[in-house]
Amino acid sequence: MIASPHRLLAAWLLLASVTLGLPSRAAALPPIAISSSVARAVVRYFGKEGSQEASEYLAKKGGRELVERVTTSAAKQGGDEAVEQVAIMARKYGPEALAALDNSPSILPIIRAVDELPESQARLALARLSAGATGRELAETTARLGSIALRSELKHPGVGLILVRSLGDEGADLAARLTPDQAIAIGRHADDIAGLASSQRQGLLAMLRNDTERMVAFVGRFVEANPGKSLFTAATTAVILAEPDRILGGDEIVFDAEGNPVVVHRAGLAGRVLEAGGNVVSHVSDRYLRPVYLTAAAFAGAFLIAWMSLKVWQFKKFKGAMTTVPVGPPSIPRWETRTGVWPYIQQTPTFCTSPAVRRASSKPQTAARPGRLPTRA
């Protein structure tokens, strides 16, 4: 709801008394008594909702001191032109603009950087700039590098500032290329990269720009395999730049016994699949197949021992039978025919190994006389 002219006039007079520190009777002064165009801009911003909100803001949130500080700082840095630019921003974005400018060491660069952003991003940027020590650091970086610092921080909150602060324009360019997860992974090493020699730093940034995904994957593997170790030292970076194809191809950096970084081969995709399959097979073998194998081996061993014991027992029994000597002469079977009985001379058993038996068997045996069969009546 738009306030009536009388209410706006009353708000301006009240604002003049707050801004100038006049007593309440200063409400009788004409509007021209308001010394600051910034204060008028705040009133016009709140004019969409009514003069009462403007009065409450100035009274409850330290609005008078805020307006005085921003106006004084703008006048020192750029004179009346700077004050007018502050008033334009305050009229467009309200108290958030004053809070952001109050937290900035340099006002004019912040105004120019915010003006380069779309309105939706500008409001978010002002909120980030007014956020205490972090906002002040962002304002310092923005004053040095311009709107790219704000864009980087808006795309990667909490990380974009680190990239830009450490790596400057190259960090801002890198932030524009990275996904949020990639920005977090690289942001952890931004200060280490910034501390490298110029040639090494440029080489690493070129690798990150040209093959971002594989380079970030390598960084993640190194951090996982070497917790607590710094990746981008001068020695390690020299190895990376000397073997970029191997690094991007999946090989790893390890440290030898003396702590020197070396590149070691790591299997490709097929090799990693086979390795993963081997790990699965090994796990299944250890957890399931090995107990079954040991149980089967135990049963097989027990069966083999029992079978061998049986064979030994049978062998001993057979050997005892071989040494047994038959008692008495062997019986002589007879073959009965129609004409008579024919004796059958039984040979000495070959299994008799006794010397006496062998001597007896060597003597010729006399056949019995054949008899005649009785005839039937």
E strands present in the chain: 252-255, 261-264, 334-336, 341-343
Q: 12-21, 159-168, 290-299, 361-370: which has the highest mean pLDDT?
A: 159-168
- Give the start-to-end residue ranges of the domains of the chain: 1-102, 195-266, 278-314
Q: Is 80 exceeded by the pLDDT of residue 88?
A: yes
Whether the model clears a pTM of 0.75, i.e. scores above it, the answer is: no
φ and ψ at 262, to 5 degrees?
-135, 155
Q: What does the radius of gyration of the chain's CA atoms come to, in whole angstroms?
A: 53
pLDDT in tens, 54-82: 666 666 556 778 888 888 888 888 888 88
Cα(93)–Cα(41) distance, rounded to whole angstroms?
10
**In the prediction, which pLDDT does 310 show?**
81
Residue 111 neighbours by CB distance under 10 Å: 20
Distances (CA, A) of 303 to 99, 299, 307, 311, 317: 90, 6, 6, 12, 21
pLDDT in tens, 33-44: 334 677 677 667
Q: 89-98, 174-183, 251-260, 346-355: which has the highest mean pLDDT?
A: 174-183
Helix, strand or coil, per DSSP, at residue 347: coil
Cα(109)–Cα(94) distance, rounded to whole angstroms?
19
Q: Which two tokens stand for residue 152?
A: 């980087």
**In the prediction, which pLDDT does 348 show?**
47
CA nearest neighbour of 93 among 70, 59, 60: 70
**Residue whose tokens read 């840095």:** 77
| HSE of 38, CA atoms in CB hemisphere, 13 A | 28
pLDDT band at 147 (very low <50, low <70, confident <90, very high): very high
pLDDT in tens, 172-212: 999 999 999 999 999 999 999 999 999 999 999 999 999 99
pLDDT in tens, 268-321: 444 455 455 555 556 656 676 777 778 888 888 888 888 888 878 777 777 666
Residue 352 neighbours by CB distance under 10 Å: 17
Helix, strand or coil, per DSSP, at residue 157: coil
- Bridge partners of residue 262, in order along the sequence: 254
| Higher pLDDT, residue 150 or 14 | 150
Cα(137)–Cα(354) distance, rounded to whole angstroms?
116
Cα(204)–Cα(238) distance, rounded to whole angstroms?
10
**In the prediction, which pLDDT does 27 show?**
37
Residue 317 neighbours by CB distance under 10 Å: 9
pLDDT band at 157 (very low <50, low <70, confident <90, very high): very high
Q: Looking at this protein, which amino acid is placed at residue 94?
A: G
CA nearest neighbour of 263 among 250, 275, 281, 273: 250
